[in-house]
Amino acid sequence: MRPPILRRLLRRVASTAVLGLLAATLSTTATAAAQPAAAAQAAAGLQQVTGFGSNPGNLQMYAYTPANLPANAPLVVALHGCTQTANAYYTNSGWPKFADQWGFAVVFPQTTSANNSLSCFGWFDPAEDTRGKGEAASVVQMVDYAKEHYGSDGRRVYVTGLSAGGGMTADLLAAYPDVFAGGSVASGLPAQCATSQAAASGCQTGPQKLTPAQWGDKVRAAYPGYSGPRPRVAIWQGTSDYTVYPANATALRDQWTDVWGIGQTPSSTDTLPGNTTRSVYADASGRPAVETYSVSGMGHGLPVSPGSGDQQCGTAAAYFLNTICSTYYTGVFWGLDGGGSPGGGGDDGLPAPAGVTVTGITDTTVSLSWSAVAGATSYAVHRNGTKIASPTATTYTDTGLTAGTAYRYTVAALDASGTAGSASAQVTATTTGGSAPATCYTATNYAHVTAGRAHTSGGYVYANGSNQNMGLYNVFVSHTLKESPAGYFVLADSGCTA
């Protein structure tokens, strides 16, 4: 029988061939940047932490803590992709910008060629990605260190990752729902999609065809008997990703909506910058539990949007693709902006405002009212997940809207220090007047689902909004869909006038 260290080494070496697909298109420059010497020369502000625990997964811990980090601040764990480093993710992802702006710490775990020759996290290996074992356990030890040394709030810990880091993110959310309040998977894999080296490449090019319940069972089996709250999950995917195919985003959507028990029909869809379609799947209270972000035409990588704008971030580089700042939208989804959005933000502070009601609608305005919260000095109003106003009164009128368009609103109370309490239940208002100009889309059924224009049920595809049956879920059947108003699609194969 081989010694444990030798068995581990052999497992790591053998896994390299399987993971080659995840790194097949990395440039020579990116590979050079991933050398351990470069990682040791972390950028100013990013610090290596040693002695964070027994470290069964043989990982390295790097952390960024903004100046004047408040006590009980949130914590984000960010996992790099294959051949990347903690420093590369720190430099290009945009997380330091929002850590400074919104006030939270970021931990950047790093695996190296000592674990895997391509520096990939072991998302497919039960010895690494399951509760209490290997790399997964090392990441949780880093979280424990941050709670003890940075004062991080254990109820507001989030994890995100790219590619192999995204696969590990999904596994961590499944194995540790008691640790992570939310997650974000970018170009990644469903939790426990593969449990062997041989199955890994099959997941990357299109996971096994399971029902949502079967995908959900993989999550439930990762921590048997757990009955507490589940993490809120964002899913980012490029439609032209040929390294981790878009079918993985659909499987992730099926998996986590089933875990939440909310079905696979989106509560709403909208369009964001960078040719991005967001589909929202709300829980029973109306709060987004799962959100998918489909970036049309984007390949394999993390969406970033270099610039100084409020909703811009990151640096374009190998596998950091200039489309949209996914870090901003992920942070807002988790509530890191202090707006009390789903998944975070002051759940142990002021209570959520009750009685949020739409009191008036025109073609360009929506008026809201709500009940006062004791101790509140103002309120944060969020439209479609983005903070738009901080009125001191218990009423607000949103202006400059588009006619015939649906908008989602939540309200959170702010105390004297500006800290947000829990978000209210979501309300939806559709402005009056003529609908926005129709938009026509011709694509395969598979592409329509991936883009958020349709959904699947029982192997068939149905148009979002009209729920018209479009036939089998595959790449061989094509249809034209007409969108009008926003988020409402009807079959228009006989002709579509925009």
State the distance between the two ends of the chain, measured CA to CA, in whole angstroms.
69
Under DSSP, is residue 470 helix (H, G, I), strand (E, B) or coil? strand
Given the structure tokens 């502000």, which residue do they identify? Answer: 45
* Tally of helices (H runs) and strands (E runs) in the chain: 13, 26
Vertex 188, ends 194 and 173: CA angle to 5°? 75
Cβ proximity of 315 and 304 under 8 Å = yes
H/E element, 170: helix 164-175
CA triple 30-31-32, angle to 5 deg: 90
Question: 162 is written with which tokens?
Answer: 């790219």
Pair type for strands 406-414 and 460-463: unpaired
Torsion angle, alpha carbons of 145, 149, 153, 156, to 10: -40
Whether the CB-CB separation of 368 and 359 falls below 8 Å is answered with yes
- Determine how β-strand 427-430 pairs with β-strand 454-457: unpaired
Of 15, 117, 119, 163, the active-site residue reads 163
Question: Can 163 be counted among the known catalytic residues?
Answer: yes
* Amino acid code (one letter) for 464: N
Strands (E), 337-477: 357-361, 366-369, 378-383, 386-389, 395-398, 406-414, 420-423, 427-430, 439-444, 454-457, 460-463, 469-472
Question: At CA 107, angle to CA 101 and CA 110, rounded to 5?
Answer: 135
Question: Residue 230 and residue 259: Cα distance in Å, rounded?
Answer: 8
Tokens of 183: 């997650």
The total of other beta-carbon atoms located within 10 Å of residue 297's CB is 11
Strand partners, 106: 64, 76
Q: How far, in whole angstroms, is CA 51 from its chain's centroid?
A: 30
Q: What is the CA radius of gyration of the chain?
A: 22
User: At a CB cut-off of 8 Å and minimum separation 6, what does 459 contact?
Assistant: 472, 473
Residues annotated catalytic, as ranges: 163
